[in-house]
Chains A and B, each alone.
Chain A
Amino acid sequence: MFESADLLMNALVAGLLLGGFYAAVTAGISISFGILDIVNIAHPAFIIVGSYIAYIVNAHFGLDPILVGILGLPAFYALGALVYQVYYVSFERRGQEALRGLAFFFGLLFITEVVLILVFGVDYRYVSAPYIDMPPISIGFVQLPMRMVVPCVMSLVMLAVLQLFLTRTFLGRAIMAVAQDQLALRLMAADPIKIKRVAFGISIATCAMAGAFLIIIQPVEPSIGRDYIGRVFAICVLGGLGSLPGTLIGAMLLGVVESLTATFYGPSWAPAVAFGLLLLTLAVRPAGLLGR
């Protein structure tokens, strides 16, 4: 074990960097599933769309993928607001979110994947940016690839902004209030539907950023979104529903466990880690999942 100490350290650091990125991927789900109680399993599909937009703009205009992600925020916000409006009118208002609402998001996930395959094929796509090809920075025997560091730092920034927004601004507090008591909100003359629409828009907007981070970290093809469904829900549940700091902790934990598994058992086992962790959490601490 001692001779593999540097291997272990590298795996740990890689896991933490990966975890930072996972936090960005999960932030949107934390808002939609954790706060709004909307089981948006199509979330990873929107992230892949974000990746492909970053890819197109990067390939044609050479724009930095993260900049593309930031520029894409309004469009993704609008898309999210639209999806919520359809969801609300068709399912939430009729009280059918349990069965048909889930099927709706599943259908969206599937349609997005198939359309991306039809348009772009199943080839892996990637972006180019100066920091992607940069040689890793070495601190002692620990390697820090910039390809991982940049998305990790940027996603921490994004999470911090979101957390400040949710706790410090009026609108953010209104979103937290929707999670607690819709009726009370209505009595305060605030429209819960409008607030939920804003919140869901924000949750989808994070996909523009997360998609850009994803395509910086690894080449993207349409169906890899599915690997992230398990990850995002595992993190969301692990960290405590609806809490962004919890999301960050859960994401770091999953990143480290996945990275250790990949290093010591082989990368082909990594996809099962998130789901295994999710099943384990659901089985062992079911009470801890439903809030405190």
Chain B
Amino acid sequence: MTMNCEQFEHDVLATPLKDNDARREHAAECPPCAKLLARAKKMEQQLSAAMAVPVPESVTSEMPDMPSLESVSAASANTDKVVDLESRRRRPPAPVWLAVAASVALAAVLVLRQPAVDEAHIENLTAELIDHLAPEMGAMRVNYNSVPRTRLTSVLSPAGASMQTDAPLVSYAKSCLINGQLVPHLVVQGADGPVTVLVLPNEKVDGPISIMRNGLEGVIVPVEGGGSVAIIGRDAASVESVRQQTQESLAFDI
């Protein structure tokens, strides 16, 4: 099959690395098209190098343990509705035997899952939290565009957490992997500047624990339902300005 210059150009620029007789024959007889072919092949190397952008460590690190299917389904189910704690409380009560069984199971889960709060553990935990923040510090900036409620719900639900609708303005919400656990990572806009909020469903603390590391200050405080939340900012004032409201608006359902 013979090819004209227009067909050759279309063919070469659509699939530069393909090889066939018609293309070879045309290039052998047409120096400008032979030059275009050589140029197209070189262009592929340049394109390939430019498009292979660096991949962040969060993507290439070890595969995480995925959350239970129940929690993922709950997240999807909640995607299109606002969490309403009042309506949740108005649900009809479950049978007594179910409540007793659930209490026993919950107690067993809590005993198994809650690590003892000791200094070494807290030291490791705060180091991991601050290390995690380093590459995402860009998110902790003044921004008065709140994330959609659906996004916030889908980030919090896999951790069994929810946030009341009168919560402070959340400008960033993402599920992050910290120490193999999916941790909701939020940025909240406070009166004294933005702060990072990391929701920790599996970390139980009895009272406030201060964080001061790498020029950042913060506090880990308990949250209703058993877990805790780390609130970290550039100074103590910014943390304090959102601490109470954040602590009160968050709850764990587990």
**A and B held together in a complex:** no
Chain B residues at the A interface, C-beta cutoff of 8 Å: none
